[in-house]
Amino acid sequence: MKKTNLFCMTLGVLSVSALSLLAQATDNKMDSDLNIQKSDVRIAQETNLSYSYVGAADIKQGDAKLGDISSQTTDLKYVISPEIKDGLLFRGGVEWERYSFGLPDAAPLPNTLQSTNLIIGFDIQIADQWLMRVEAAPGFYSDFVDLSSRDINVPVIIGGSYLVNKDLQWVFGLSIDMWREYPVLPGAGVRWKFADQWVLNFILPKPRIEYELEKAVTLFVGGDMKGGTYMVNGDFGKNHGRGNLNQTVVEYSEVRIGGGVAWKPIPFLTFEAQTGAVVMREFNFSRADTSMKSDGAAPYGEVALSGSF
């Protein structure tokens, strides 16, 4: 199997990253003795805003170097989860994510890849220690040039979380994306508080080890994997002298290694800052049997603000 294909499989597994929120939801249920009172009216809200910059690194197609590439990433997400009935919450929201690239002239790559999508799903408590999530993200995933119905995709996540005890949680799931080279992929992860101040949070796409410096401050080291599938426009290949790249899907993948700090000034608000190196970036036009990837590491920095109400 080609190295590119192996990474695309890994990235597909990362798509079950929403299960990290599922694990947190399960943990919250244990904290409240896993009982949802029918007389309670519960409406949970999640919001996230992040921005990152990745410095320049060479990009290659095969052995041919095409020049330097840099990028900026912005992500904005809001989800509201009203309780429908005992043990059943609806999830509805919106998300916008944008990758903007600084590209060499010789590279047949899009300047922008972005998605604007809805979030529609359910959290279902199926047993005292089990929580299930089903979530779809219908929307536009493209370079946003000549936008049309061909740019609509509906990735789906199906997963479950099992709470062994308040210190140990397992998550399992399937990621479904019909645009991806491997449309259906499994995923699994674990969150384990193995000491008073230490947590192994091995849930993709952000596996990390966390150390609680004090109640409001946590230090962490680990990885971060980003990416998605996007449709390029009908003239993309023609404009770059590559006719086989017209109106096709590109799978973008990015792997980061670094560390940072999370600060929680109030219980429902978290600010994160991190830095490190992007050790791999890849554009895989699998349907056209064409791929381009970075050659060497590049520095990155990211800031993020998230809230749970």
Transcribe 206-230 into DSSP letters: --EEEEEEETTEEEEEEEEEEEEEE
Residue 111, phi then psi, degrees to nearest 5: -70, -30
298-308/269-285 β-pairing: antiparallel
Q: Which amino acid is at 191?
A: R
Cα(15)–Cα(187) distance, integer angstroms: 8
**By C-alpha distance, which of 144, 84, 152 is closest to 118?**
152
Cα(56)–Cα(299) distance, integer angstroms: 8
| Domain spans in the chain, listed from the N-terminal domain onward | 3-39+57-308
Residue with tokens 């999530």: 133
Alpha helices in 106-249 (DSSP H): 236-239
Q: Which amino acid is at 274?
A: Q
Cα(115)–Cα(75) distance, integer angstroms: 10
**Token pair for 273:** 């800052």
**SS3 breakdown of the chain: % helix, strand, coil, rounded to 5?**
15, 65, 25
Question: Residue-wise pLDDT tens for the chain (309 aa)?
Answer: 344 444 444 444 444 444 554 555 555 444 444 333 434 557 899 999 999 999 999 999 988 889 999 999 999 999 999 999 888 999 999 999 999 999 988 789 999 999 999 999 999 998 888 999 999 999 999 999 999 999 999 999 999 999 999 899 999 888 999 999 999 988 889 999 999 999 999 988 899 999 999 999 999 999 999 999 999 999 999 999 899 999 999 999 999 999 999 999 999 999 999 999 999 999 999 999 999 999 889 999 999 999 988
Q: Which residues lie across from 173 on neighbouring strands?
A: 159, 187
